[in-house]
Structures are given as C-alpha cells and as structure tokens.
Structure 1
Amino acid sequence: MLVVAALRWSDQRAAVDPLTGEVRTDVHTSGASAADRAALEHALRIAEAFGARCLAVTVGPAEADDMLRDALSSGAHEVVRVDGPPATVAEDGSATARLLLAGLPERPDVVVCGDHSADRGTGSTPAFLAQRLGACQALGLIELSAADGALHAVRRLDGGRRERLRFGLPAVCSVEPAGVVLRRAPLPATIAARTAEIPVVRAGVLESLSAGAVKAYRPRPRALPAPVGAEPHQRVLALTGALVERTPPKVVRPETAEEAARELLDYLRRHGYAP
C-alpha cells in the first residue's frame, strides 16, 4: 500500500511591490506551508496504521529538494521531485495534478494534500487528483485517521458545525493545519537526510492559458418579432403589453404550511410548470 503526501513548494513570505504589483520571492523563505506539514504528518500516521509506505512528492525546481529532505528526516520512506517551474496564475491545478501523478512510481491508495497553497490558495489540485485517480475525495478536513481498513475524518462546515466522514480507499484528502503539528525529526535522521539524493522525474511542463483582454460579460441578444401596429402609439402598446389581458395579482395568506404548499402547486400546474 502506498500513501502519498503531495507537498507544495512556495514562498511563505512573498513580498509585493506596492507600485508595480511585482511579486518578489526568495528561496530562503520558501518551503512547505503549515497545511502541507499537517498533510505530511497525517500521511505518516495513516502509513503507520496500515503498515504502508509513505512517499512525499512535489512539483518544483531543484531548490525544493531541501523540503523533501525534511520529509525524509521526519519519517517518509521515499521522496520524488517532479522537475518543473512554479505554477502560473492561469494554471487551475489540473496540470499540477497531472505532473504529480506522473512522478509517482505506482498508483497510490491514499493521497493527502494541504487544503490550499500559500501562493495560489485555490485548493483545486486535490479535486483534480481525485478525478484522475477515480478516487473518492474528502476536502477541508480538520481531523483524519485510519481504523478498520477505512479512513475516518471530520470536516469543518459553516456556522461552527462539523461533519463526520467514513470512506474507503482509494481516497484523496486535503487537510487544514488545525491542531496537527509535524513530528520533530530525530538528529540522526536529519543528518542522514542532508546528504540524501533526491530522485527527479521530468514529466513535462506546466500548461498555461491566455485569458486575453478582460471584458464585461454581455449575454447574447434574443431575436424578438417586430411589434404589430401602423401607428407608433399602437406599437408602444404592443411592446409594453398594456392591452394584453392578464391575471390580476392575488394575495394569499395561508394559515398552515399545507395550504401554502397546495397554493404553490396549483399555481405551477396552471402555468404548465408541474404535471
């Protein structure tokens, strides 16, 4: 069984020029976000529960090797880096998902990702991963564990509510950094990981889309028949529908919910919206 932690290498302290809007990044402040570190910790726990292998994978340049070495020192059995540039603004996450899966040695049973990346924040890559794998997906999780051959999770909902989930494999999960901290790597593993060779897969390049000029949305015009009438006044009356016989408005004050539902159904039947 293979459990994959899909990590995102990005600058956690990117600066934006207030005049030009240029985004400045630095490799010294780049690495895994809190959500990605939580995803790695969940992947390690699931691998321990199932007796599986844990593999950490990322798409990025050679500078991302240090992030994968940290994953090795924390307990990941294998790491893989898919060589590629950072995602552009136009990339919707589908190309990143394709490259991540292309870099894996085999089909994974569980994929754990952060809920969103620090540089883009769309959170769409886990959904594309699930679509390509044909796996069930559980997104926005604050708790994730493995027991009895299945995964158990808690999802955050609006209004302070929670949803408990139980689902089987294969599965793609995205987790929030809620109360989960990546375990501290032991010193011998940290020293050994500093000199570890990181496997690199070259699976292509990220696709980008050109949006073109931005314009306001304008729906297509509808073709309407010309108004009937020889005089302008008659045509105005035809356009406004002032001479058309219509049902006068009706004020309904039902006393019970059953009467309100009956009135609504009768209205839909009279106008052909319901059988």
Structure 2
Amino acid sequence: MGLRVVVCVKWVPDVAGERGFLGDGRVDREGVDGVLSELDEYAVEQGLRLVEGFEGGGEVVVVSVGPEGARDAVRKALSMGVDRGVHVVDEGVVGSDVMGTSLVVAEAVRRVGFDVVVCGMASTDGGMGVLPALLAERLGVAQVSLLSEVSVVGGVVRGRRDDGVASLVVEAGLPAVVSVTDQSGEVRYPSFKGIMAAKKKPVEVWGLGELGVDGSLVGSVGALTVVDEVVERPARVAGTVVEDAGEGGVRIAEFLAERKLL
C-alpha cells in the first residue's frame, strides 16, 4: 500500500508587495497579489520526497483553506508534482483565527485520509507557527515539528531537528503530523511540463457543509482572538555615526548603556 501524504499550504500576500490590514484588523488579501507561502513550498517539496523515497510509492494531496485566489496556491503545488488538490472555500470561514482554521483544516485532512501530514514551519503572514500542533491535537495523532530532515521507514516518520546548539533525532509512529523548516532542502522549480500537467489535475472544492463543520465555531463569530489595534511601523530614522578618534569603544559602550543594552 502506498504512502498517503497530505500537505497543508496557505495563500498569503506577497512579501514583496505593500501589505496592509482592513478596518477590522484582518489582513488585506485583495489589495496585494497573493502567492503560495514561501515556507509552505518546503512542505510541498518534502511531501513529494517522502513519496518518492517510499518503497511502495504513494500519493501527495495538497489542502488549502482560503478565498477564491487560494486556488492559485493549490495549482502552484500541483505544478511542482503534487497529484491532486483540495480547496476549502466558504464565506463562513472568513475571519477565522488559527483555532477556527485548524478545525477546518483538520476536517479536510480527515476526509482526504492520511499517513503523514506535512506543514511549513509558519505562514509568512500570521507567523504564529502553531497550526501543526493544533492540527495534531484535533486529529489525535503525534506531532514531530521543525524538522530540517525527514523520512518515512515502515510505519515510522523520523527526522532531525536543529536548534542551533544541538541536533536531535525525533520520530513517531504513523499516522503523524510533521512540520519542516526552510533548511529541509532546496525546493524544486515547476517545469513547463509540470505547469501544463497541473491544469489537468483534479482540484476538489469543499465548503463547511461537506466537512460537517459548525459555522458558529469558525469565521469571525467563532474566533477566540481579536485584533484590537493595528499600528504602522515607525519610519526609519538616521543612525548615529561615531568618529573614532581613540575613544570609539567608549562612545559605543555609552550609546548601548543609554539604551539599556548593556
């Protein structure tokens, strides 16, 4: 039997664009181009490698929750080699926080069926990095997080976690949820053939009804967190130039001490 891998991806505002917020504190996804989150590209890559390295082969399915534009993120993953996609889009999901999002993603993953769920280390818009843990809890499976190397042998997923001081080898029995870092391996570039093939690959579109999710638990009405205020980042100011006439070190020390950095 082949390995069933589900990769969770997010459609996010392009970091190269002028990103902003709506009046209610939500991220503005209409005023800037959307893209497949760069960190999720590593998840797609590792999902493909897991199946390619598994003796019995398998299937990679990508799942994304978001507005109509999120289908572009699904198509990008398909052009990289993913077999099929699932796009969850529903007005009831609008305004969901990470708790609501994790519920919708979990039910979509459960409906697809999985041995391994692969996520990126964080999204490039929210940057919370907690969805893999919430997903594992909702699915009732183990989580192996922040891996820079991952493989599946038999019924075990194993990986290496680097924390800057040491490297740990961690593992869990399948099924499991894993998250991978941007150090997990170079992401393949979609070929022309892959881009053309992606247009013919199936993408299922589901709503809350298909997933059996109670609308009162997601969206703005079900959100457990609220953005109270959004403040623009202060403009950069000119720095201090220290001319070293023999006392440069003292001047720098005084500068740091004034700012309580020493």
Partner residue of 2:194 out of 189, 192, 196:
189
Q: List runs of 5+ in structure 2 lacking aligned partners.
A: 209-214, 230-262
User: Does structure 2 conserve the Cα–Cα contact (< 8 Å) formed by 1:27 and 1:63?
Assistant: no
Q: CA deviation at 1:56?
A: 0.2
| 1:152 positional shift | 1.9
In the alignment, what sits opposite 1:7? 9
Give RMSD over aligned pairs: 2.9
* 8 Å Cα contact 1:37/1:181 also seen in 2: no
TM-score by length of structure 2 reads 0.70
Alignment match, 2:150: 144
- The answer to whether structure 1 residue 45 and structure 2 residue 49 are counterparts is yes
Tell me the equivalent position of 1:133.
139
How many residues in Structure 1 have an aligned counterpart in Structure 2?
A: 209
Partner of 1:72: 78
> Structure 1 123/191 Cα, relative in aligned 2: closer, same or farther at 3 Å?
same
Asked if the contact 1:56/1:78 (under 8 Å) is kept, the reply is yes
- CA gap of 1:27–1:198, structure 2 versus 1, over 3 A, is farther
Tell me: CA distance 1:140–1:87, structure 2 relative to 1, closer, same or farther (3 Å): farther
1:13-52 mapped onto 2 (5 Å cutoff): 13=15, 14-16=18-20, 24-26=28-30, 29-50=33-54, 51-52=57-58
Note the C-alpha offset of 1:146. 2.2
Pair 1:23–1:165, CA change in 2 (3 A) = closer
Deviation (angstroms), 1:166 = 2.5
Distance 2:31 2:228 in 1: 33
CA deviation profile, 1:156-201 (whole Å, cap 9, x unmatched): 22x5322111222111111111152322223223113236553110
Change in 2 beyond 3 A, CA 1:26/1:150: same
What CA distance in whole angstroms lies between the structure 1 residues aligned with 2:207 and 2:104? Answer: 9
CA contact under 8 A between 1:81 and 1:201: conserved in structure 2? yes
Question: What SS does the aligned partner of 1:116 have?
Answer: coil
Q: Distance in 2 between matches of 1:169 and 1:27?
A: 41
Displacement, 1:22?
A: 8.7
> Higher relative CO (CA 8 A, sep ≥ 6), structure 1 or 2?
2
Q: Distance in 2 between matches of 1:22 and 1:66?
A: 21
- In structure 2, the CA distance between the partners of 1:121 and 1:152, relative to structure 1 (3 Å rule), is same
Asked whether the 8 Å contact 2:5–2:116 carries over to 1, the reply is yes
- After superposition, what is the alpha-carbon deviation per residue over 1:65-92, rounded to whole angstroms, capped at 9, x for unaligned? 111111112111110001146774x72x
Tell me if the contact between 2:151 and 2:158 (Cα under 8 Å) persists in the aligned partners: yes
Distance 2:136 2:26 in 1: 34
For structure 1, the 5+ residue unaligned runs are 215-275
Identical-pair percentage: 32
Q: State which structure, 1 or 2, has the greater radius of gyration over its C-alpha atoms.
A: 1
Q: Give the alignment of 1:32-181 within 5 angstroms.
A: 32-50=36-54, 51-84=57-90, 88=95, 91=97, 93-104=98-109, 105-157=111-163, 159-181=164-186
Match of 1:240 in 2: none
TM-score (norm 1): 0.67
Which AA in structure 2 matches 1:160? V
Q: Provide the C-alpha distance between the structure 1 equivalents of 2:108 and 2:82, rounded to a whole number of angstroms.
A: 16
